[in-house]
A and B are shown apart, each in its own frame.
Chain A
Amino acid sequence: MIIGVCLKQVPASDSRIKIDGSGAGVDASDLKMEINPYDEFALEEALKLKDAKVAKKVIVLTVGGSDSEQRIRDALARGADDAVRLDDAAFAGSDSLGIARILAAAAQKEGVGLILAGKQAIDDDNSQVPAMVAELLGWPQVTVVDKLELDGGSFKAWRQSGGGVRDVVTGSLPAVISADKGMNTPRYAKLRGIMMAKRKKIPVYDAAALGLDPASVGAAGAKVTQVNWSEPPARPPGRILSGEVPSMVKELVTLLRDEAKVL
């Protein structure tokens, strides 16, 4: 089986994000980019399945410009066999559905039997693409998975479903699984992997190569447009309680419950 791993580059989680001149995007000029952390779990899970000889090949699927090649090479260095970069002027301005169309087409073209993706990308936090890919392909899907087992043509996936409840979902392949934190510990690239990654060719597929109608993707096909971005409001100053410890504890619990609403 071939596993497709959807991989996106995002600004490093410790970056300071600035809004660009248009007010409807991020100024990426001096942002340090990294692999979306949830995609790293997806990649690691795929590599583990390959190590266990359950999968024959791991292929990285990335929608992105040439600036995303560094991240693709990082994934190859960790052990992915191949990668394709999906890039076309017509892809610009894609919303989640557009991206999902591109990824679904690439997965089909590559004969992928299981798609692993991060549960969300930490830049836009939309959490939509994996579900849309599954829908477009007509495949079963499980989201926010932190444990996965494959057995022949079927899978068993564990997910946290809130309130401490765990769902166990079974189904048949092909399928789309989106990965949550805790699924595994992503490995480091090995030096040998880095040397091998350098020699790998990363083919670029455009709309035509993927058999996509340019009008169905990019700004042309987008149902969602981002109109305005703004900085989050400044954080209100912290509050320091005073008085006797027992009364402070009581006050703190009340505040956490009624004001912060975290209890």
Chain B
Amino acid sequence: MYELPAHPAYDALFNPTEEHRMLREMVADFAAREVGPQAEEYDRKAHLNRALFNQVGELGLLGITVPEELGGAGLDAVAAVIVHEELSKFDPGFCLAYLAHSMLFVNNFLHCSNDEQKARFLGKTISGEWVGGMGMTEPDHGTDVLGMTTTAVLDGDHYVLNGTKTYITNGIEGDIFCVYAKTGGKISAFVVEATAPGFSKSAHIPKMGMRASSMSELIFDNCRVPVSNLLGEEGSGLTHMMRNLEIERLALAAMSTGIALRCVHEMVTYAHDRKAFGQSINRFGQIQRYIGESYASTEAARCLVYNVARAVAPDIQNRIGSDAAKLFAAPIGKQVADACMQVLGGAGYCDEYQIERLFRDAKLLEIGGGTIESHQKNLTKDLTRSICR
């Protein structure tokens, strides 16, 4: 649903294999039938639809990048992009919870855990029995993530964590989190179960959009985490974090293109049906500009996102590509949602057409998973390093 006209040759980028196409059709069908109808309700309720989340688990989407022998689907970054794009046509807020679970927790954990840890945690999170999340941001350190002050100190067979993480998606429902903390000045990654002694959560932090996912602080007050929950080596957290950010950024960029696709569709149909001054409003040049530019920028963003997704994998590093994809795509979702609302006029501003919700949701993509300014900063650094050696 909400597809735009596409030449079969476009499949080489958007549906490169038969599985990608089938995955897209399956998720699109599920999203139209199950995700769309509940979106408005959970935007109002402002928490995760747990039953829907479980359904996504049953479909096998929560372990999308996990190898088949470990119970996942063994799919790639393009597949992750497809799922996020299709879900976001209907409910970006729910999709954000999906992202926090399947990318920020599951995919991240997959690449830095040992076999024993996988055996303990992977099954429950792939099935959806447990909701996962990731804690990086702190009240005083967002973009400046290396400045984090949460600490972990070894005490016998436990690490003792102290500090606070904030803006953590799935904070309220989360059973398990991947948490970054400093061990002797270097960043390390830990798995923290919500039942760990000394661990607590704040109340839900209300927000403008993405309301179908919850957000809270994670508070570590002498929180005791078994040594066996350290991910990788002490001090290796930064590498894990940076590596996972690439697929996360692509997934966020795909959420933006999903919103944009839906909005282009809505504005084209509305402008065709809506009459003013005795004719369809799509006869007015100003409306045509919204439609034409929205379509072209949406497709441009998709091309960049899917092209980069082909070159992001556990063994391929591509920070330049993933930063560029999110930097370019994030504002497109917001701009196209804005254009859509303008084309719909008062109807766009009212709840019924759901565009106001997509508009609120779209803004997050310029902030979460790295602000657009941080992408500009990273790109300048990486490009300079690569070009001015």
Contact = CB atoms under 8 A, between A and B. Distances in A.
A190 interface: yes
Interface string A176-202: 000000000000111110110110000
Interface residues of B, number: 18
Interface residues of A, number: 13
Nearest to A78: B26
B18 A198 contact: yes
B146 interface: no
A198 B64 CA distance: 16
B19 A194 contact: yes
Nearest to A77: B22
Given A190-B58, A190-B60, A191-B61, A77 B26 contact: yes
Nearest to B29: A188
Interface string B289-314: 00000000000000000000000000
Contact of A189 (B22, B64, B74): B22
A70 B21 contact: yes
Contacts of B18: 70, 73, 198
Contacts of A194: 19, 22-23, 26, 73
A74 interface: yes
A74 B25 CA distance: 9
B81 to A, nearest CB: 15
B59 interface: yes
A195 B19 contact: yes
Interface of A is mostly: helix
Contacts of A77: 22, 26
From B19, B22, B60, B75, residue with most partner A Cβ within 10 Å: B22
B30 interface: yes
A97 B29 CA distance: 34
A106 to B, nearest CB: 24
A48 B26 CA distance: 19
Contacts of A191: 23, 26, 59-61, 64, 73, 75
B68 interface: yes
Contacts, number: 41
Contacts of A197: 22
A188 B22 CA distance: 11
A188 B26 contact: yes
Contacts of B74: 195
A97 B59 CA distance: 39
A140 to B, nearest CB: 34
Contact of A188 (B19, B21, B59): B59
Interface string B11-39: 00000001101110110011000000000
B150 to A, nearest CB: 35
Nearest to A74: B22
A73 B21 CA distance: 11
Interface string B25-65: 11001100000000000000000000000000011110010
B110 to A, nearest CB: 15
Contacts of A192: 60, 68, 73
A193 to B, nearest CB: 8
B36 to A, nearest CB: 14
Contacts of B21: 70
Interface in A45-77: 70, 73-74, 77
A159 B19 CA distance: 37
Interface in B51-107: 58-61, 64, 68, 73-75
A74 B21 CA distance: 10
A189 B73 contact: no
From B59, B61, B68, B75, residue with most partner A Cβ within 10 Å: B59
A173 B308 CA distance: 55
Contacts of B22: 70, 73-74, 77, 189, 194, 197
Nearest to B34: A188
A81 to B, nearest CB: 17
A198 B68 CA distance: 13
A29 B254 CA distance: 29
A190 B59 contact: yes
Given A190-B58, A190-B60, A191-B73, A198 B19 contact: yes
From A70, A190, A191, A194, residue with most partner B Cβ within 10 Å: A191
Contacts of B64: 191
A226 to B, nearest CB: 27
B196 to A, nearest CB: 31
B285 to A, nearest CB: 27
A257 to B, nearest CB: 32
A195 B26 contact: no
A191 B64 CA distance: 8
Contacts of A188: 26, 29-30, 59
Interface string B233-267: 00000000000000000000000000000000000
A20 B58 CA distance: 43
B368 to A, nearest CB: 26
A156 B54 CA distance: 35
Given A74-B22, A191-B75, A195-B74, 12 more contacts: A70-B18, A77-B22, A189-B22, A189-B26, A190-B59, A191-B59, A191-B60, A191-B64, A191-B73, A192-B60, A192-B68, A195-B68
30 contacts: A70-B18, A73-B18, A73-B22, A74-B22, A74-B25, A77-B22, A188-B29, A188-B30, A188-B59, A189-B22, A189-B26, A190-B59, A190-B60, A191-B23, A191-B59, A191-B60, A191-B64, A191-B73, A191-B75, A192-B68, A192-B73, A194-B19, A194-B22, A194-B23, A194-B26, A194-B73, A195-B19, A195-B68, A195-B73, A195-B74
Q: Which 8 A-B pairs have the closest CB atoms?
A: A191-B60, A191-B73, A189-B26, A194-B22, A190-B60, A192-B60, A188-B30, A190-B59
